[in-house]
């Protein structure tokens, strides 16, 4: 079974809340990338960063390399915590996980997310199929990571660190690069999509494609920066998330869990 960090992976103490926000990391990322979000959002919103197996403090656990088994395990582990009104946020690989998890919960007739926040990932039908990079020889793989600009140069040049990080990045990129969307009826929750103005792989046009995947409201918000714009635009991004969560049904009155 998949568990989340700090079993049962809820990083906030139980309190009077109106919304829960479950955050899923990008390829190679850990739950720690969202560690400050709870401090920047209203106290009524509980932030729950999700730690994937093989990442962060779960480094000794086997990595997943396909989205389907990962999402199935995640649904089993998270289901007891999906109470009341909640939302998913996912950046890049995390967007795939959030989207597929929402569909799986609907198939299983489980109470699904009231809002999806998808970041840095084109809509499935706007995602360009490119040659896989997760299985490149190590020198070429490192050069590809350098091109993506998501891994600091000091890390790429640190042999010991890369011996730990490379298998994680390869597994996560395999999830992204082997992902195939299966056509299904659109979701019925609002979708807010975020992107970087300089992210050529996730242009506004490609992000707008997510409009076809919900029957509810939809909006795209663009920020200065490349694929990792959220690292320096979190203040404005979280202000938008807080506003959307506050406007969700049940977003105003406190509720105890």
pLDDT per residue as tens digits for the range 230-242: 988 999 999 999 9
Please provide the average confidence, as pLDDT, over all residues in the chain.
89
Contact present, 35 and 12 (Cβ < 8 Å) = no
Residue 8 has a pLDDT of 34
Residue 255 has pLDDT above 60, yes or no: no
Q: Any idea of the CA torsion for 196, 170, 67, 222, to the nearest 10 degrees?
A: 0
Residue-level pLDDT at 249 = 61
Q: Which two tokens stand for residue 34?
A: 């969202």
- The pLDDT value recorded for residue 218 is 97
Residue-wise pLDDT for 52-84, tens only, equals 999 999 999 999 999 999 999 999 999 889 988
Per-residue model confidence (pLDDT) at position 246? 86
Active site residues: 92
116-151: per-residue pLDDT in tens? 999 999 999 999 888 899 999 999 999 999 988 888
pLDDT tens-digit readout, 76-86: 999 889 988 99
More confident: 126 or 89: 89
Domains of the chain: 19-127+185-246 (3.40.50.1820)
Which pLDDT tens digit goes with each residue over 163-174? 999 999 999 999
Least confident of 33-37, 68-72, 150-154, 206-210: 150-154
Q: What is the pLDDT of residue 140?
A: 95
DSSP of the chain: ----SSTTT--SPP-SBSEEEEEEPPTT--GGGGTTHHHHS-TTEEEEEPPPTTSGGGTTSPPP-SHHHHHHHHHHHHGGG--SSEEEEEETHHHHHHHHHHHHHHHTT----SEEEEES---GGGPPP----TTS-HHHHHHHHHHHT-S-HHHHT-HHHHHHHHHHHHHHHHHHHH--PPP-PPBSS-EEEEEETT-GGG-HHHHHGGGGGBSS-EEEEEESSSTTGGGT-HHHHHHHHHHHHHTSTT-SS-B--
* DSSP-derived secondary structure for 155-180: HHT-HHHHHHHHHHHHHHHHHHHH--
């Amino acid at each position: 079974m998949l568990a989340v960090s700090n079993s049962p992976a809820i990083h906030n103490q139980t309190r009077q809340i109106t919304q829960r926000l479950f955050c899923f990391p990008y390829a190679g990322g850990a739950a720690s990338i969202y560690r400050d979000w709870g401090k920047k959002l209203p106290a009524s919103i509980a932030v729950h960063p999700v730690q994937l197996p093989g990442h962060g403090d779960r480094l000794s656990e086997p990595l997943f390399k396909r989205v389907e088994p990962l999402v199935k395990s995640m649904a089993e582990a998270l289901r007891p915590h999906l109470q009341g009104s909640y939302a998913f946020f996912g950046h890049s690989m995390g967007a795939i996980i959030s989207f597929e998890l929402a569909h799986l919960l609907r198939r299983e007739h489980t109470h699904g997310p009231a809002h999806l926040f998808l970041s840095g990932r084109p809509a499935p039908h706007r995602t360009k199929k490119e040659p896989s990079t997760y299985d490149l020889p190590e020198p070429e793989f490192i050069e590809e990571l350098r091109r993506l600009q998501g891994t600091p140069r000091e890390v790429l040049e640190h042999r010991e660190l890369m011996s730990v990080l490379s298998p994680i990045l390869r597994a996560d990129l395999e999830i992204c690069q082997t992902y195939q969307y299966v056509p299904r009826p659109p979701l019925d929750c609002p979708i807010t999509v975020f992107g970087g103005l300089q992210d050529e792989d996730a242009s506004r046009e490609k992000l707008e494609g997510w409009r076809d995947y919900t029957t509810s409201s939809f909006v795209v918000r663009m920020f200065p920066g490349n694929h990792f714009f959220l690292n320096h635009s979190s203040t404005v991004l979280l202000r938008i998330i807080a506003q959307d969560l506050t406007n969700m049904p049940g977003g105003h009155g406190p509720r105890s869990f």
